[in-house]
Structure 1
Amino acid sequence: MRISVIGCGYLGAVHATAMAKLGHDVVGIDTDAAKIAKLASGVAPFFEPGLPELLDEALSTGRLRFSTSFADAADADVHFLAVGTPQQHDGDAADLRFVYAAIDALIGVARPGSLIAGKSTVPVGTAAALAERIREAGSGALLAWNPEFLREGFAVADTLTPDRIVYGVTDERATALLDEVYAQPLATGTPRIVTDLATAELVKTAANAFLATKISFINAMAEIAETTGADVTTLADAIGHDARIGRRFLNAGIGFGGGCLPKDIRAFTARAEELGRGESVAFLRQVDAINLRRRERVVDLAVEMLGGSVYERRIAVLGLTFKPDSDDVRDSPALDVAERLNGLGASVVATDPEGIANAQAKHPQLTYVADVSEALRGAELAVLVTEWGEYRSLDPEQTAALMDSARIIDGRNALEPAAWRAAGFEYRGLGR
């Protein structure tokens, strides 16, 4: 099929490349000329395992190209809308300016009978408003909502072999077009759910709200465990054996971040309040508050372990991205902790395998080093806040030899406490 992908950020770039891998002729459209130039030359503008190789392959076939002109999308059968929906600067609601701008641009070029398929995460009711906008313009294009379920670090596999595909449609022609797009994964048995626009919008939002709630639940248990002397990791193992609960996303620590969960639960709450149903998801305010408290807890532990003040004390912060296998520092708990410690006067030396450049752009006042050994050298305290494999596999004795004082905060409960204590460390985990 002929496909356009509008918006070539994290979601759009991966989706466009994967669609070309599936055999479609794809053009990625974005107004950022520098980003388009990178993608066109085979350079991914962000770190995502597997994407550079897939991008090279897709470009070499001639099935993938990139452009800054919407006119180049005019002959597409399906237009995927993958623009960002960030949190508004003056509130919790989603900023939909980019969505509406993209729709208005597509209305001017989309052929009658072509499909605009939304992938962006939007407040419920947005798709219906967009469908009315398209109808009033008389373009003859169809609208569907086809939410994405990508995990950063696994985005390529999640696009090529998704665990489910959801269509929100109002016309059977839209279903037929999407079936043709996803013919390969559907042929391998990927579940397909066909529903209305509102339900499709809610699927993504509800999934993120549930995951955020599960993470904050175990972090709330960590707060109780810290007060009572219990071990939240063993607690999670025990309740995780219950099939109704499951062990995944029950890892207590510094909490969630990134460009999705935090802003999506806030936007969901704001939308529910607009609909007069704020009480239905009022608990998400507490989910957000619990999550943010874990960042404060790490800073409080640092102050406690250094005798009541971190002023001019050298602290090695291990990790800057919100999760491993990503260079994304949006709403990153790790970067937030580094910045808070710096604000208290600590001599922070931060490191990360992939996130330094993005972190520097946000917080240039911090000191960054690429090598973990350099970060640890002379430190009085190490704080592990992103569970990269190279940090999980650090040797306690070698680490102690680098540091001035053997103290470590395990903000992700990623280390084995007994091994670190045996090496002479004062070890503190969260909820342990």
Structure 2
Amino acid sequence: MTSQIKKICCIGAGYVGGPTMAVLADRCKDIKVTLVDIDKKRINAWNDKDLSKLPVFEPGLKEIIKRNRNKNLFFSTDIANTIKEADMIFISVNTPTKTSGFGAGYASDLKWVESSARQVAEYSSGHTIVVEKSTVPVRTAELIQNILSESEENSFISNIKKSFSVLSSPEFLAEGTAINDLENPDRVLIGGEDNNAMRSLSGIYERWIPANKILFTNVWSSELSKLTANAFLAQRLSSINAISALCEATGAEIKEVSNAIGADKRIGKKFLDAGPGFGGSCFQKDILNLVYLCQYYGLEKISRYWEHVLIVNNWQKERIASLVVEKLFGTVTNKKIAMFGFAFKANTNDTRESPSISIAKDLLENGANLMINDPQVLPYQIEKELCKKESKIFSEKEGSWSFNSNLNECVKDADALIILTAWDEYKEINFEKFSKLMRKPSWVFDTRKIISKNSLKGTGIKFWQVGMGECSSL
């Protein structure tokens, strides 16, 4: 018999939990959905009357928040009571790559998953369905189950009845299109052993998702499917970026190559856009996780195969920074360079693992003065990324950076402009105007292939584009 779900708790109010629970509440008006987080500042931002201050930027998200918040969608720091009242709990916390200890640099740090499981074990009552939503290594559900099993046994001793069903239902969201991905998913995975619990979760999804798109697996297949999906997508991006360099060397054009191979139904058109390298919270972390798992199970050659996807990605970022220095007469010391875009992709304010970070650091190390612009990323986020403890220790030639929301001010007296994020406002730049503001000779480096070379005609600006290289004089 399936459980009737009336109250849902989501632990973790970040990039996954926020949009996922917002859409669920929007589609299931009879279910009370509460997101909890230990970060009071984040919860306050979700509750702020000014919807422009939401901690997550996603097209369509603020409209959903507006019509559901404080009706059946709530944001709270009261973790204990929310867990106690919940029939179903989603664990949607961060699982960053470990920076120290065994597996450092590869394995996921599961301290927040473990902490969440212990909170569920302590505060829950009755039967609770626990859904693993975070991206996690294979067999993480076993960790959760072991913690909850101890609580089950203790409940019999203390005469406080508790029981649990653990499911895996990973997210397959692309930042920038998360709301559409949630409302019209390609598929939804539910992994588990308890058929009743699986049907209870499926019954919620089926409120708006066709039943034939909901796939049932065991827990381990569900967890590994998430890692594998991200690894395959990242692999495609590294592959097309590798070919972009070959195009620049041979005179081929990457867009023409992408169109030709994408027309093959066996390959398809998606994820064939060359760029400065992939970023985001998942691709690098999940591949590192996959590498670690392969090493753990003695699959050394397989681990090296996946590791090379990351090697190519890092090489692409280094290649672009090096190319900028080379084109500017071999030095960027004290030269002003405008950087347009700091988010790892358009339509998100997420900067995690953004290629802009390592490119900026390389240019700063070479003495450049960066003027950074992004329509959704705030200066404190940039400072956080560029001043992390693990960042490089710069030499005496270390450059400087600042943020400016005015595009004209960014390029004034600049030697070069680098486009790193494909925001729409960057596609309509008036280069005739920019040419009068920039220092001569001036360069535009388009790492996202969003600028038409015709838009630079007659400006005298030198132009380089990923997958095409340096254009002839315009």
Instruction: Bin the TM-score by the shorter chain.
Output: over 0.9
Question: Could you say which residue in structure 1 is the equivalent of 2:471?
Answer: none
Verify the 8 A CA contact 2:39 2:77 in the aligned structure 1.
no
Verify the 8 A CA contact 1:258 1:331 in the aligned structure 2.
yes
- Which of 393, 418, 426 is matched with 1:391 structurally? 426
Query: Quick one: which amino acid aligns to residue 36 of structure 1?
Result: I
Question: Could you say which residue in structure 2 is the equivalent of 1:81?
Answer: 91
How many Å separate the matches in 1 of 2:110 and 2:213?
A: 30
How many Å separate the matches in 2 of 1:204 and 1:420?
A: 43
Question: Could you say which residue in structure 2 is the equivalent of 1:133?
Answer: 147
Q: Which moved more, 1:188-197 or 1:377-386?
A: 188-197
Verify the 8 A CA contact 2:278 2:355 in the aligned structure 1.
yes
Structure 1 pair 241/423, CA: closer, same or farther in 2 (3 Å)?
farther
Question: Could you say which residue in structure 2 is the equivalent of 1:36?
Answer: 43
Structure 1 pair 203/422, CA: closer, same or farther in 2 (3 Å)?
farther
* Residue 313 of structure 2 corresponds to residue 291 of structure 1: yes
Q: Secondary structure at the match of 1:341?
A: helix
Q: Secondary structure at the match of 1:327?
A: coil
Question: Could you say which residue in structure 2 is the equivalent of 1:341?
Answer: 363
Question: Could you say which residue in structure 2 is the equivalent of 1:9?
Answer: 14
Q: Which moved more, 1:288-297 or 1:61-70?
A: 61-70
Verify the 8 A CA contact 1:29 1:68 in the aligned structure 2.
yes
Verify the 8 A CA contact 2:133 2:171 in the aligned structure 1.
yes
Verify the 8 A CA contact 1:27 1:73 in the aligned structure 2.
no
TM-score (norm 1): 0.95
Q: Secondary structure at the match of 2:244?
A: helix
Shift of 1:419: 3.6
Question: Could you say which residue in structure 2 is the equivalent of 1:227?
Answer: 249
- Which of 413, 429, 446 is matched with 1:410 structurally? 446
Shift of 1:13: 1.5
How many Å separate the matches in 2 of 1:396 and 1:247?
A: 30
- Which of 352, 376, 391 is matched with 2:374 structurally? 352
Shift of 1:63: 4.2
How many Å separate the matches in 1 of 2:338 and 2:41?
A: 34
How many Å separate the matches in 2 of 1:278 and 1:29?
A: 40
Q: Could you say what the CA RMSD is over the residues aligned between the two structures, in angstroms?
A: 1.7
Question: Could you say which residue in structure 1 is the equivalent of 2:202?
Answer: 179
Question: Could you say which residue in structure 2 is the equivalent of 1:429?
Answer: 465
Q: Which moved more, 1:116-125 or 1:102-111?
A: 102-111
- Which of 344, 348, 352 is matched with 1:330 structurally? 352
Give 1:70-149 correspondences, 5 Å limit.
Answer: 70-90=80-100, 91=104, 92-138=106-152, 139-149=162-172
Q: Secondary structure at the match of 1:108?
A: helix
Q: Secondary structure at the match of 2:127?
A: coil
Give 1:153-164 correspondences, 5 Å limit.
Answer: 153-164=176-187
Query: Quick one: which amino acid aligns to residue 413 of structure 1?
Result: K
Give percent identity, aligned residues only.
Answer: 30
* Residue 411 of structure 2 corresponds to residue 376 of structure 1: yes
Cα deviation per residue 1:73-104 (whole Å; 9 max; x = unaligned)? 21211101100100111321100000011001
Query: Quick one: which amino acid aligns to residue 31 of structure 1?
Result: I
Cα deviation per residue 1:342-389 (whole Å; 9 max; x = unaligned)? 221112111111113311333365211111111111111111111111
Shift of 1:327: 1.2
Q: Secondary structure at the match of 2:337?
A: strand
* Residue 57 of structure 2 corresponds to residue 58 of structure 1: no
How many Å separate the matches in 1 of 2:70 and 2:183?
A: 18
How many Å separate the matches in 2 of 1:17 and 1:190?
A: 23
Q: Secondary structure at the match of 1:279?
A: helix
Verify the 8 A CA contact 2:237 2:274 in the aligned structure 1.
yes
- Which of 135, 152, 174 is matched with 2:175 structurally? 152
Q: Which moved more, 1:353-362 or 1:327-336?
A: 353-362
Shift of 1:14: 1.6
Shift of 1:250: 0.7
Give 1:183-198 correspondences, 5 Å limit.
Answer: 183-186=206-209, 188=210, 191-198=213-220
- Which of 302, 315, 326 is matched with 1:280 structurally? 302
Query: Quick one: which amino acid aligns to residue 77 of structure 1?
Result: D
Cα deviation per residue 1:18-74 (whole Å; 9 max; x = unaligned)? 222122201111111221222233552232222222112111424434233222221
Structure 2 portions without partners, runs of 5+: 1-5, 153-161, 388-399, 469-474
Q: Secondary structure at the match of 2:123?
A: coil
* Residue 23 of structure 2 corresponds to residue 18 of structure 1: yes
How many Å separate the matches in 2 of 1:51 and 1:284?
A: 34
How many Å separate the matches in 2 of 1:89 and 1:415?
A: 38
